[in-house]
């Protein structure tokens, strides 16, 4: 009989934005010391928002005795911010940049410039073999609660892409863990894509199922952490600028945005999970500034019982199977997304695709031509302007318009075209899965009798559900 062992996993968003995150160097140094403490007994740690490479080197040096194997990934212009620390050897690593990746014109958001991506490291456990660990930080949401989420389509596309890769990883006969900051509430399509398409289990929800009968009201911030697993925008964190209303209870207690997902099998069972790295410590910032949290996020800490992985043929579910259970462990089928959910995903992707195409068309057919007309007008006027100081000002304006039409052309043609293609590819992938679901659940006759055009009527019927979607 295979020997069972314990595996301790932590994820933490470190809030390491250069020039923006307060007391960044002090905090990340403190995080390194926290992780270096052998009493913590973490085996694998995933960090997000370690944007500054010197911060990574400092953490790496501090934890070298506890985590001899580390990996930092580059992406985009400013770096991915993703790090994995491990007690066990890392034998292979990969990085994949998301096809849908934000907006370069919204430079104040920064997501496009850091090259949002997901990474993986295959860790060689001494007794249980390979463990593939995914780490990611999905696109943030910047809109106020109750207003349309301008990046929802981007985030759903990212989750679809990641879910497809994770789904393939779970068939390779190794343990799979996916952790990070998903910038999404537990009821979001993002989480559904990771659990139902990717075939993973949310460790928090496994140990602490959501209280829905009845839904609790009037929760305190402390109860928000212990019951709802809140990790961000909680009044308990000294760095919280505001407090979000919880999606379920509607209390001002913050939201759960950080997750540890895993592939649940008879050989990998989650025993416990808790919100971690909640301590407030001194030594951060000015000497008289009191105690502060390590980051604006709390971490998530999960413990697992694992044995050597076994390839489970039942993970490739037969057409007439919906759920396969063995040893009280439920394995979701590979196409566990419902038709309604797939249609909702299509609706969102199509809406955001149309917005992206309309923005690209506006740039190429309106803004660029107008900028060109003004540019040529300024060129002609330049030679007739007197006195010369006015001509100098005119030259500056001319330079701005000359640069402007080029920038807008590149934005509309290159970025707009690439974004439209990425949305189209994702939409086609979702449509393929939906067509197969219709075929298997309703038979070929209902599929043959439903054209793609007529199916749009079904998408419109579900538009009211947009108000239920969270960031």
**pLDDT band, residue 1 (cuts 50/70/90):** low
The model carries a pTM of 0.86
**pLDDT band, residue 132 (cuts 50/70/90):** very high
Is the pLDDT confidence value at 452 over 50? no
Looking at residue 461, its pLDDT comes to: 44
- Known catalytic membership, residue 297: yes
Looking at residue 83, its pLDDT comes to: 98
Q: What is the mean pLDDT of residues 81-100?
A: 97
Torsion of CA 302, 303, 306, 309, to 10 degrees: 10
Looking at residue 105, its pLDDT comes to: 84
Q: What is the mean pLDDT of residues 432-453?
A: 69
pLDDT in tens, 398-409: 888 888 889 999
- Higher pLDDT: 366 or 310? It is 366
**pLDDT band, residue 254 (cuts 50/70/90):** very high
Q: What is the mean pLDDT of residues 301-324?
A: 65
Looking at residue 464, its pLDDT comes to: 45
Q: What is the mean pLDDT of residues 239-259?
A: 90
Looking at residue 360, its pLDDT comes to: 92
Is the pLDDT confidence value at 358 over 70? yes
Looking at residue 382, its pLDDT comes to: 74
Both tokens of residue 401?
């318009």
Rounded percentage of the chain residues whose pLDDT exceeds 90: 65
pLDDT in tens, 55-67: 999 999 999 999 9
Is the pLDDT confidence value at 462 over 50? no
- Alpha-carbon distance of 401 to 412, in angstroms, equals 16
pLDDT in tens, 98-118: 999 888 888 878 888 898 999
**pLDDT band, residue 229 (cuts 50/70/90):** very high
* Lowest-confidence pick of 73-77, 117-121, 125-129, 449-453: 449-453
Looking at residue 469, its pLDDT comes to: 35
Q: What is the mean pLDDT of residues 267-276?
A: 97
Per-residue HEC secondary structure of the chain comes to CCCCEEEEEEEEECCCCCCCCCCHHHHHHHHHHHHHCHHHCCCEEEEECCCCHHHHHHHHHHCCCCCCEEEECCCCCCCCCCEEEECCCEEEEEEEECCCCCCCCCCCCCCCCCCCEEEEEEEEECCCEEEEEEEEECCCCCCCCCCCCCCHHHHHHHHHHHHHHHHHHCCCCCEEEEEEECCCCCCCHHHHHHHHHCCCEEHHHHHCCCCCCCCCCCCCHHHHHHHHCCCECCCCCCCCCCCCCCCCCCCCCCECCEEEEECCECCEEEEEEEEECCCEECCCCCCCCCCEECCCECEEEEEEEECCCCCCHHHCCCCCCCCEEECCEEECCCCCCCHHHHHHHHHHHHHHHHHHHHHHHHHHHHHHHHHHHHHHHHHHHHCCCCCHHHHHHHHHHHHHHHHHHHHHHHHHHHHHHHHHHHHHHHHHHHHHHHHHHHHHHHCHHHHHCCCHHHHHHHHHHCHHHHHHCCC
**pLDDT band, residue 470 (cuts 50/70/90):** very low
**pLDDT band, residue 312 (cuts 50/70/90):** low
Domains of the chain and any CATH numbers? 5-334 (3.60.10.10), 341-468 (no CATH)
Looking at residue 335, its pLDDT comes to: 61
- Alpha-carbon distance of 360 to 412, in angstroms, equals 4
The active-site residue, picked from 72, 137, 175, 297, is 297
Q: What is the mean pLDDT of residues 1-9?
A: 86
Looking at residue 2, its pLDDT comes to: 66
Is the pLDDT confidence value at 379 over 50? yes
Is the pLDDT confidence value at 184 over 80? yes
Rounded percentage of the chain residues whose pLDDT exceeds 70: 88
Is the pLDDT confidence value at 449 over 90? no
Looking at residue 404, its pLDDT comes to: 87
């Amino acid at each position: 009989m295979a020997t069972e062992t314990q595996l301790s996993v932590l994820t933490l968003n470190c809030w390491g934005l250069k020039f923006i995150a307060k007391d960044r160097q002090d905090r990340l140094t403190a995080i390194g010391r926290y992780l270096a403490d052998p009493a913590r007994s973490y085996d694998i740690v995933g960090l997000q928002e370690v944007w500054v490479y010197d911060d990574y080197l400092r953490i790496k040096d501090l934890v070298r005795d506890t985590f001899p194997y580390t990996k930092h990934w580059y992406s985009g212009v400013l770096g991915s911010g993703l790090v994995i620390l491990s007690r066990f050897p890392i034998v292979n690593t990969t990085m994949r940049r998301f096809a849908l990746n934000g907006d370069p014109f919204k430079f104040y958001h920064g997501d496009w410039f850091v090259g949002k991506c997901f990474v993986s490291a295959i860790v060689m456990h001494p007794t249980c073999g390979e463990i593939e660990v995914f780490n990611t930080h999905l696109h943030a949401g910047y809109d106020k609660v109750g207003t349309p989420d301008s990046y929802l389509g981007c985030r759903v596309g990212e989750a679809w892409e990641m879910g497809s890769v994770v789904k393939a990883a779970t068939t390779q006969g190794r343990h799979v863990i996916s952790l990070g900051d998903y910038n999404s509430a537990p009821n979001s399509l993002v989480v559904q894509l990771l659990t139902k398409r990717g075939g993973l289990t949310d460790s928090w929800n496994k140990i602490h199922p959501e209280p829905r009968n009845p839904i609790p009201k009037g929760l305190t911030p402390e109860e928000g952490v212990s019951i709802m697993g809140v990790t961000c925008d909680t009044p308990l964190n000294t760095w919280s600028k505001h407090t979000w209303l919880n999606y379920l209870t509607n209390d001002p207690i913050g939201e759960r945005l950080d997750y540890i997902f895993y592939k649940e099998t008879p050989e990998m069972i989650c025993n416990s999970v808790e919100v971690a790295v909640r301590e407030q410590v001194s030594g951060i910032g000015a000497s008289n500034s009191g105690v502060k949290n390590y980051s604006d996020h709390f971490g998530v800490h999960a413990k697992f019982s694992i044995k050597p992985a076994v390839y489970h043929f039942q993970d490739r579910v037969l057409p007439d199977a919906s759920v396969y259970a063995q040893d009280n462990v439920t394995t979701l089928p590979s196409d566990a997304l419902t038709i309604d959910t797939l249609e909702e995903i299509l609706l969102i992707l199509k809406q955001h695709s149309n917005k992206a195409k309309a923005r690209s068309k506006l740039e190429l057919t309106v803004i660029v031509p107008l900028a060109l007309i003004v540019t040529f007008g300024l060129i002609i006027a330049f030679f007739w302007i007197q006195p010369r100081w006015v001509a100098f000002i005119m030259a500056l304006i001319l330079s701005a318009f000359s640069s402007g039409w080029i920038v807008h052309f590149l934005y509309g043609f290159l970025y707009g075209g690439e974004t439209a293609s990425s949305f189209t590819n994702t939409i086609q992938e979702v449509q393929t899965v939906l067509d197969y679901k219709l075929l298997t659940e309703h038979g070929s006759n209902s599929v043959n009798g439903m054209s793609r055009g007529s199916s749009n009527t079904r998408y419109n019927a579900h538009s009211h559900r947009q108000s239920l979607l969270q960031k």
